[in-house]
Structure 1
Amino acid sequence: MSQYWINMLFVGASFLLYIGIAVWARAGSTKEFYVAGGGVHPVTNGMATAADWMSAASFISMAGIIASGGYATSVYLMGWTGGYVLLAMLLAPYLRKFGKFTVPDFIGDRFYSRSARLVAVICLILISVTYVIGQMSG
Structure 2
Amino acid sequence: MLTLTQELYDRIVAHARQDHPDEACGVVAGPAGSGRPERFVPMLNAARSPTFYEFDSGDLLGLYREMDDRDEEPVIVYHSHTATEAYPSRTDISYANEPHAHYVLVSTADTDDAGEFQFRSFRIVEGEVTEEEVQVVEAY
On whether the aligned pair clears a TM of 0.5, the verdict is no
Q: Which has the higher helix share?
A: 1
Higher strand share: 2
Larger radius of gyration: 1
| TM-score normalised by structure 2 residue count | 0.23
Task: Answer 1 or 2: higher relative contact order, Cα 8 Å, separation at least 6.
Answer: 2
